[in-house]
Amino acid sequence: MSRCDLHVHSIYSTDSGNYALRRARLGESYTQPERLYRVCRARGMTHVTISDHNTVEGALTIAHLPDTFVSVEVTTRFPEDEVPLHVLVWNLTEEDHRDLQPYRPSVYELVAFLRERGLAHALAHPLYRMGPPLTASHVERMMLLFGVWEGRNGARSRESNELACRLAAAVKPDFLASLAEKHGIEPAHDGRIALTGGSDDHGALDIATTWTDAPGEGVDGFLAAVARGEGSVAGAHGSTAKLAHAVAALFVNAYRISGAELPDTIRAQVEALFDDDATDAEERHREIADQSARFVRLLGERARAGGMSLAELPGAGRRLGALAFAAGLQLPYLATARHHAESRSCLSEIEHAFFGKRGTRPRAPRALLFTDTFSEVNGVAGTMRRLAGAAADGAYPGAVVVAAHEEPAPGTIALPPDWSLPLPSYESLDLRFPLPTDVLACIEERNPDVIHVATPGPVGFCGLAVARLLGIPVVGSYHTELGPYALHLTRDLIVAEATEVYVDWFYGRCSTVLAPTHGVADALVARGLADVGIWGRGVDTDLVSPERRDEALREELLDGGGLVVLYVGRLSHEKRIGVLLDAFARVSRARSEARLVIVGEGPARREFERTAPAGTMFVGEAHGTDLASLYASADVFCFPSTTDTFGQVLLEAGASGLPVVAAAAGGATELVVHGQNGLLVPPDDPGLLAAALLELAESPARRASYGAAGLAAARARTWDAAFASLADTYRQVLGLDRTRTLVAA
């Protein structure tokens, strides 16, 4: 067996017609032919060739070395619509190269010339768009004209290479005859397409990492075996990182050739990464990515260092420059990701044309869920933890939660934060900023069908931005009224309005937005969002249940009293805890045996403890069975908040058999049916809240009736149903299910 990288470039490759490289004044490659030969031999190639664009100069410089032959990559086109093609021509002479030039404007004439001369040739990267879009008609004509296709190109994505191989395998003599009749073109081969492989390297990083194996003596025997279809392709496919690093190598070399010098701080690292031949190309790519990420973080730290006082202003320009440079280092990754995404969109149309549209997938769609809160105690984090647990347990195998949390957890991907800062006025929640390139790598590795953004913070924003860049459908779920929250936290109307504008913009970029209740959905539609559905939550009735009642715990909570009113949630002003304390002070004056138990933590706990009336107990955070026992050991649940879009604690209280008194706002208006499983009162009215609590305190029968109704309603809301509803949404966004199972807003 012989082995050869049949598609690789040197510094002599200067005429591909690539518009972007011309505009950036970059060469196609800066690899010296001698280095290329050395690396090919070191990586096990028995033959070495150079296939520069429209020139054989590079190949001729090593033609005297053992086991080499001259090749070229010819730019041609379909003359009827100017769609360009690249054709690899192997083992030709200088005279052959000179004589083929007049035939380049027409692929039909070029192929006829190559066949007449008996020159081995192949269609390079068949599905790579280099100009106007490729259509099924172009591919059919490629099938007629070329008996050898490049089935694995080391610069093109796996999807592109594999589809090219599927298309080549679909060609049979009868099918080729029908194409010949359709297009009026005489087939240039016997009806079967052979495959080759080559690295298509331009940056000296991936030379001979993709190749062709075939039997045969010498170059002629090897190439004849390739043409007969006796060869096989092997090695690496392309990726965003590989293409980004190749572009980086071009920039580095162009910069140095211009006479400029790299900064001393990075010169040694750059030279080691791009000039030294690596034993393991994949390891070298990892090294480049790691060094790039480290440098971006270092520049980001420098940009953020120092204050913004008048004394610090002279250094602000340098810091902004460092920040711009850090962003610039990530641009090649983002640009090449976009390039691959655009290529994939073209692939799907061609695949559909030849193989039909894929039907509904038997598996749940793969989804990555991006969230800025995971470990914290709040409704969004709880939902994300529940989803991650379901993914890890196999209950919903298609989902993975992505968060910038500190410790990895089952069903999650922990993104390393580039930097973080406490959320202003909400210091218990850190805003963690990941590198966009880390998010990109995560998405490309997992290859999701859909991206789900659960929060509009930096993690959610990066998920949204990269998904849009890659052309992946985005589902957004709306959990929190951030505008009112911002107003309560900052007391600044401008901040609140700016927050609402950003939130509307964020969710406006999503294909579908999921609201937790009909009321929130209607409000989102009124704000201009087009496609809004309902995604409710579930409750674990095995964990949260009246059976968790603990008489010893209840006696401790009562402390000699006779009625336990329970609140569970964050201890902050926007939760209207002050209204609750005021209302309970009125209740305790009328019924001294009443006790108020407050479960949770928050920035205002100490203030509330100082102002709480007698009979109030703060127990801190509780989780799992401890929290379930607190629910089941109480008599009434009270929820004064007006900013919760759903109110998971209301569902948990119902599952514990508790009647509910809640402010008539947010999710409470749908989870609490007034006079059936609880009482709703006007928001921010401690007098009416106290009256409702006293009404239930004085009627054990009504408490029991409301509690039973709440329990029945909660048992109808399971997490399995919630996850099934979410999977249905993903299918609908992907066009895999015509039935809209969610209730439209």
Tens digit of pLDDT for each residue in 183-220?
A: 999 999 989 999 999 999 999 999 999 999 999 889 99
Phi, psi of 123 (to 5 degrees): -80, 120
Residue 712 has pLDDT above 80, yes or no: yes
Mean pLDDT confidence for 237-250: 90
Tokens of 395: 């209950």
Model confidence at 325, in pLDDT bands (50, 70, 90)? Answer: low
Q: Do domains 2-241 and 546-717 have the same CATH topology?
A: no
Mean pLDDT confidence for 596-623: 94
Which of left, alpha, beta for 9 (phi over 0: left; psi -120 to 50: alpha)? beta
Tell me the average pLDDT of the chain. 88
* HSE of 167, CA atoms in CB hemisphere, 13 A: 32
Model confidence at 309, in pLDDT bands (50, 70, 90)? Answer: very low
Q: Which residues pair with 198 in a beta bridge?
A: 153
Packed helices 686-697 and 577-590: angle between N→C axes, nearest 10 degrees: 50
Residue 307 has pLDDT above 80, yes or no: no
More confident residue, 740 or 120: 120
Determine the Cα–Cα distance for residues 415 and 447; give it in Å rounded to an integer.
16
Separation in Å, CA 619 to CA 255, 569, 601, 616: 64, 12, 9, 10
Which of 349-353, 487-491, 690-694, 724-728 has the weakest average pLDDT?
A: 487-491
pLDDT of residue 18: 55
**E strand or H helix at 648, and its extent?**
helix 648-655
pLDDT of residue 617: 97
Q: Would you list the DSSP string of 213-278?
A: EE--SHHHHHHHHHHTT--EEEE--B-HHHHHHHHHHHHHHHHHHTT----HHHHHHHHHHHTSPP
Could you please state the CATH topology (level 3) that the domain comprising 2-241 is classified under. Answer: TIM Barrel (3.20.20)
Residue 317 has pLDDT above 70, yes or no: no
Q: Which residues pair with 638 in a beta bridge?
A: 661
Model confidence at 251, in pLDDT bands (50, 70, 90)? Answer: confident
pLDDT of residue 741: 38
Give the rounded percent of residues in the chain with a pLDDT score beyond 70. 89
Which of 94-98, 315-319, 741-745 has the weakest average pLDDT?
A: 741-745
Mean pLDDT confidence for 175-181: 95
Decide if 588 contacts 660 (C-beta within 8 A).
no
pLDDT of residue 379: 82
Residue 311 has pLDDT above 80, yes or no: no
pLDDT of residue 683: 95
pLDDT of residue 26: 66
Mean pLDDT confidence for 648-657: 95
Strand 68-78: give its sheet, edge to edge: 48-50, 68-78, 83-90, 120-123, 148-153, 194-198
Model confidence at 428, in pLDDT bands (50, 70, 90)? Answer: low
Q: Which residues pair with 477 in a beta bridge?
A: 514
DSSP letter for 547, please: G
Model confidence at 303, in pLDDT bands (50, 70, 90)? Answer: low
Mean pLDDT confidence for 499-513: 91
Tens digit of pLDDT for each residue in 55-79?
A: 999 999 999 999 999 999 999 999 9
Strand 367-371: give its sheet, edge to edge: 412-414, 399-403, 367-371, 450-453, 474-477, 512-515, 532-534
pLDDT of residue 677: 96
Decide if 571 contacts 603 (C-beta within 8 A).
yes
**Whole-number CA gyration radius for the chain:** 33
Decide if 82 contacts 107 (C-beta within 8 A).
no
Determine the Cα–Cα distance for residues 292 and 285; give it in Å rounded to an integer.
11
Burial class (CB in 10 A: 0-12, 13-18, 19+), 118: exposed
Nearest to 342 by CA among 219, 193, 170, 472: 472
Identity of residue 90? W
Question: End-to-end alpha-carbon separation of the chain, Å?
Answer: 65
- Among 201-215, 286-300, 323-337, 348-362, name the most confident range: 201-215
pLDDT of residue 360: 43
Tokens of 280: 């393991």
Could you please state the CATH topology (level 3) that the domain comprising 546-717 is classified under. Answer: Rossmann fold (3.40.50)
Which of 104-113, 250-259, 451-460, 462-471 has the weakest average pLDDT?
A: 250-259
Nearest to 543 by CA among 656, 639, 622: 656
Decide if 385 contacts 406 (C-beta within 8 A).
no
Residue 582 has pLDDT above 90, yes or no: yes
Determine the Cα–Cα distance for residues 265 and 118; give it in Å rounded to an integer.
54
Burial class (CB in 10 A: 0-12, 13-18, 19+), 339: middle
pLDDT of residue 16: 56
Residue 388 has pLDDT above 60, yes or no: yes
Tens digit of pLDDT for each residue in 567-576?
A: 999 898 889 9
pLDDT of residue 362: 53
Long-range contact set of residues 298-306: C-beta below 8 Å, sequence gap at least 24: 299/323, 299/325, 299/326, 299/329, 300/326, 300/418, 300/419, 301/419, 304/419
Tokens of 334: 């983002």
> CB within 8 A of 218, min separation 6: which ones?
none
pLDDT of residue 483: 57
**Domain residue ranges of the chain, discontinuous segments joined by +:** 2-241, 359-538+724-733, 546-717
Residue 707 has pLDDT above 50, yes or no: yes
Mean pLDDT confidence for 398-412: 85
Burial class (CB in 10 A: 0-12, 13-18, 19+), 264: exposed
Which of 25-34, 211-220, 725-734 has the weakest average pLDDT?
A: 25-34
Model confidence at 739, in pLDDT bands (50, 70, 90)? Answer: very low
Which residue has tokens 């305190």? Answer: 697
* CA geometry: angle 430, 433, 438, nearest 5 deg: 140
Tens digit of pLDDT for each residue in 542-557?
A: 999 999 999 999 999 9
Tens digit of pLDDT for each residue in 266-300?
A: 788 888 999 999 999 999 999 998 888 888 777 77
Which CATH code fits 359-538+724-733? Answer: 3.40.50.2000
Residue 310 has pLDDT above 50, yes or no: no
Nearest to 588 by CA among 694, 695, 698, 696: 694
pLDDT of residue 740: 40
pLDDT of residue 558: 95
Residue 743 has pLDDT above 80, yes or no: no
Identity of residue 536? G
